[in-house]
Structure 1
């Protein structure tokens, strides 16, 4: 006896039902993870050198805008980054700029301000009511800043911090630093004759020799004969060592509390605010420098040891998934590659916000000004020196007074009074 078509139809219907239910569950699972807030910290684009070495034939006059300024290449790099962020957050950000959703801050430096503006031109082209000139696909978007002397957030390293300066001196004397520097000692000794630059400290080598040569290479200037590929590799490695020694190698966590941890605290507080239902903010952008990105990443212990390239961007995203908030970080340091995922040590790539806060707590300063004071030993030494100075000064004054009071000049005047 034939079973007929009904059992087959019932089985097919059951199969379709299971598939529909599975599809619904998957859809719900995808929808459950919702992007809530984004922080972008990026370096400015390509620029001219800040300064250069005495023997450099390429002088400041060779650069169209002079030293330290964003180039046409730098503008293009940040416009491309803005286009990428528009694609990445197409379904998250408003189609056009809305002031309550977005906040942008830059250091008070031409190249970082211009980079932010170039980025925003691509990120928020005018749409609908925002179009004010049909022939110009651009709208003004505000970029906030503070004077460099007051910038305690982005313009790293913060200079008004005696304890950080003390840690820097300790680092240069440390066994680990000296071990890393040793293979380059002979090479360093050749640089003054080649470059005319007498400074042999690592920061001087980075800022006045490697950096201008790198800028000239990128912008197709003729290099000195001695700037061979091997020389440039050594200069880059020394520059990377300089940056590493600035924030790490010796007492990295304490250094981070005085530098990058300040920005970590800001990002964490902004994410906590974003968890409030009343918060309209979706995106905060920070336009800074290589020392800004490296300081932040050293504090988070995710730094790769390389100089952050132009227009590189540290991305921090806050997600809501099944009632719990998670933090995901990534690093875009190549324009033709998706951002590389970053994992905070001690957590997964997708890290619960509460766990993230606990893990970064050791690098967040409680009282930055107090922690920037010198160590107790140095404070005691300063007090001892101050007291000794006062005692010596008092003795000298007393001796001077005695000499005047009882010396021949005083006796002469005394006898003339009579």
Structure 2
């Protein structure tokens, strides 16, 4: 046998031996790890579910507004519905979400509705109230269930005057948004010319494109000019607008502070033995969900779809009594829940750490009203002298 053949034979032999060693090691490793994983899963499955909080966006709706020369302003195109109303499709989406919720938590919820154990809240908009009704119909059937409205807890964010001020100011003063608006000024002018609506910035452009998208999804033929801006342009504008919504701590405090305070207080009261509802349901808007995703430092901020949801599970460890929170996000009713890393705290996030993440964002209902509607008033009436 020549030298080259001997070397080739030796290499083949060595590769064979290494493969055998690897196989043995992998087999040994798996024989150790698989039982441990199985035991871990069994252990996790036995942990007690203490509370569930579901926060969802309303279902499919008619356009929130029509531009001045919109050809589809007549209610006849929307089965008699008005601007921003929940559609039949939207109602079905929330019914389906309610059924999914029932399937996931059937052992926790029980078969019959108990008003002492579940509280439902919505904003004052008809689309969120009707979405809540559809969700609960999917959960418990067609029984009448009270829906609470507490503005400080469940609110349409831009009704907070200070938030609206910060939101509008950011478009004028934030260097990144100013730069985006400068780059998109031709698009804004194009939209202004064809809609007869002044489109001066990112957020108004996003609203116009949202109207066009809803009309397109409703199988209505768009004007020829609109087809040019649909697709990639629309998606990019929508995503960028979402990325710059509720992106500061001050905005997040106003956008979710009172709701998160309500949730955490409910967790604490349950743990301390006070009689509290163990399931909280909130029917809100896409902007509410964006505020939560921003506070989580979620890496891919985009407009949440209709009937998208965020939910929290408070659990108690059977082994050491530790309380922890699991957080999930469903970008649409059809998608599987995505486990969420909340600002660096992964699944099984210790409750104390979870509370610490939101410590500086929490507001009581009274504080929320004061922040939203009395901001700057005291300083204007009683200015502080400079020294």
Q: Deviations over 1:277-300 (max 9, x none)?
A: 353522110001111211232233
Q: Distance in 2 between matches of 1:200 and 1:23?
A: 56
1:293 paired with 2:297, answer: no
Residues 107, 300 of structure 1: alpha-carbon distance in 2 compared, 3 angstrom cutoff: same
Q: Distance in 1 between matches of 2:296 and 2:37?
A: 38
1:101 paired with 2:117, answer: yes
1:259 partner SS: helix
- Misfit runs of 4+, over 6 Å: 21-28
Query: Which runs of 5 or more residues in structure 1 are unaligned?
Result: 1-20, 126-137, 385-418
Q: Deviations over 1:100-137 (max 9, x none)?
A: 11100111211111111111111113xxxxxxxxxxxx
CA contact (8 A) 1:328 1:350 kept: yes
Match of 1:338 in 2: 336
1:92 partner SS: helix
* Structure 1 vs Structure 2 CA RMSD: 2.9
How do 1:248-327 and structure 2 match up within 5 A?
Answer: 248=247, 252-279=248-275, 281-302=277-298, 304-321=300-317, 322=319, 323-327=321-325
CA contact (8 A) 2:52 2:280 kept: yes
Match of 2:243 in 1: 244
Q: Distance in 1 between matches of 2:257 and 2:178?
A: 26
TM-score by length of 1: 0.74
CA contact (8 A) 2:98 2:138 kept: yes
Query: Which runs of 5 or more residues in structure 2 are unaligned?
Result: 1-34
1:45 partner SS: coil
CA contact (8 A) 1:78 1:116 kept: yes
TM-score by length of 2: 0.80
Q: Distance in 2 between matches of 1:28 and 1:246?
A: 41
Aligned residues: 343
Match of 1:53 in 2: 67
Residues 27, 170 of structure 1: alpha-carbon distance in 2 compared, 3 angstrom cutoff: closer
Match of 1:176 in 2: 176
Q: CA deviation at 1:153?
A: 2.2
Bigger-Rg structure (1/2) = 1
How do 1:1-400 and structure 2 match up within 5 A?
Answer: 29-61=43-75, 62-64=77-79, 65-125=81-141, 138-146=142-150, 151-162=151-162, 165-166=165-166, 168-207=168-207, 209-228=208-227, 230-248=229-247, 252-279=248-275, 281-302=277-298, 304-321=300-317, 322=319, 323-365=321-363, 367-368=367-368, 371=371, 379=379
CA contact (8 A) 1:365 1:371 kept: no
Q: Distance in 1 between matches of 2:230 and 2:185?
A: 13
2:326 partner SS: strand
